[in-house]
Amino acid sequence: MGYLYARGLAASGLDTDAAIGIHLAQNRYPPMIGFKDAAIAAVEFCNVGDHEALVSMPEGVKHKAYGDEVPAFVLVEALRLEAFLDDIV
């Protein structure tokens, strides 16, 4: 599993919500399903070129450097969401 599994999910025809949900539940250890809304927002921001847009962390979770709001690119990297970006070939 890993990047190729995520890439397969992204190309599977599933909607982004479902594909990212599966990635966070089955392709991350430990499962990170609580980050689903933040992950979707981060991918959407990055796909329109707004990599610095702030995304709210899930309730009760704080990033050690950014706190309650994290730049989209930080979440994409941390949650290994690169496969869901439009500009990936």
Residue 89 maps to a domain: no
Nearest by Cα to 56 from 33, 80, 77, 72? 72
Whole-number Å distance between alpha carbons of 59 and 3: 27
Q: In which residue are the tokens 């496969």 written?
A: 83
Confidence (pLDDT) at 14: 95
pTM exceeding 0.85: yes
Q: Which two tokens stand for residue 62?
A: 């704080």
User: Could you give the number of structural domains in the chain?
Assistant: 1
Tell me which residue range forms the domain holding 32.
3-84
Q: Note the pLDDT tens digit of each residue in 26-57.
A: 999 999 999 999 999 999 999 999 999 999 99
- Is 12 among the domain residues? yes
